[in-house]
Structure 1
Amino acid sequence: MNYFRAHTVEEALATLADDPRRRVVCGGTDAFADLALVPARSEWVDISRIDALRRIERCDGWVRIGAASAWESVALTTWLPVALRDAAAAVGSLQIRVQGTVGGNLCHASPIADGVPPLLSLDAQVELASVRGVRRLPLHEFLLGARQVALKADELLVAILFPLPADADRTAFVKCTNRDGSALAVVSAAVRLRMSAVNTVEDAAVAVGGASAVALRMPALEASLLAQRPEALRDIIDGASLAALSPIEDCRATAAHRTHLARLAIMRALTHCIEEAAHGVSAG
């Protein structure tokens, strides 16, 4: 096993450029869970000591979350949107949240990753760096499928960025599991909602996780919510086709049950947003 601990982004990028077969590790929570991975047979680049990758900042209307930021840090950053903080607080146990990182979770690309639906609903982008330069991709273009991402072998995910929601925006995250306490999601949903002065939907973003190979935004459903009053939303959700979803069947749920849970999670998230808007609660 060859192990290198980088202390700067430049050191990490130079090491990856020298040998793109090396694997990046930070929190290590996904690596330990991968039964196919034999640590002694891999070349490792440890980025856990790069302070620049652990910053959570807001500037010029944008939020920037360093890829090595722990989920517990996200959960405790009170000015971040509610949906993202709630999703961060739902990631595993406290031990996992303290150790596991946002960037590692995105690169692992699990269909049931808690953080992905809220980030999609916030129009998040990823920043990818190499010795060749820096590029940005919308998160939905970065996530190609289960365990598949658009990350070149010599690239490092360095940050996640999204526009800071407007003051009138409300966000919510709902996670459906098969038991109480720390558990993997069966299905989850995140919503960003803005109500107009006449109490109709002015803007909406809806994302669903666990019901397809990757979490998905639901643009057709979002369009159907516009200009609607709160009392009409349940019928719209109940009647939506959700054709974009392709839920699997396994020991945890049938495809039909996952579709049912998706409707339930979306409606609950919408309800949270509407109630917060009615009481003047800030999205951040």
Structure 2
Amino acid sequence: MLEHISSNKVFDGWHKQYEHYSAVLKCNMRFAIYLPPQAVVNRVPVLYWLSGLTCSDENFMQKAGAQRIAAVLGMAIVCPDTSPRGDGVADAPDGAYDLGLGAGFYLNATQAPWHKHYQMHDYVASELPALVEQHFPVNGQRAIAGHSMGGHGALTIALKHPGRYVSASAFAPICHPMACPWGQKAFAAYLGDDRDSWKQYDAVELLNAGAPALPLKVDQGDDDPFLAEQLLPETLVMAAQNAAVALDYQLHAGYDHSYYFIASFIESHLRFHAKHLQLMDEKHR
């Protein structure tokens, strides 16, 4: 059952927030949805947006400026939270920002105490789309995108579920989490010491293992403070080349890791997905 939290009209469409009980995560979860004006008369495709560490459903919707072009294209956007939350949900004992609340890493945890609630992969890939397609005027066509930890989630979920998404894109994704401090910390806690089990949540490893191809787009700023240590885009570029997977990778001079970067290039991402969702804006109809 959905509980409506808020509504705001924007570019003749509606941004809405809802809360519901997640059977997968065993807690209440909040998500946001933007319904473009076209959804009043037609079912529309959906872009699922996955946000990064410390974020919620609000960051992208308030800062990226995506609604303007989504309204032109006739594309809904769904933005879930980044982790389970609530009483009894495990958190990092030291309050660290990169583990626990706000840092679900879009995987299915197998280790205690995380495994009870931290099943974000199944929530994003299965439970949430089923809920959205039951309650909102969407047509079942899906694309997926994200930023940083959410970029990692978007790429891995798309690569793990061939045919479920028509395209995937990311801003400054954690490309090879098995090889960076953020990923190693999270994977060890959530998945344990068996590094082979980590590979299913690593975009580079999935490409190396022959994951079915789909159109991919990645944008990265060269002034990103996390570029060299945490993000490792060169590993993704090489893996895509070796796998003969089409990856549109762009490195942008002077841009950092913030939503200023995302806002600068979000239109190109929405139009990338619109092409694969076979959407056109009004002037090209």
Radius of gyration: which is bigger? 1
Same topology, TM > 0.5: no
**Normalized against structure 1, the TM-score is what?**
0.28
**Normalized against structure 2, the TM-score is what?**
0.28
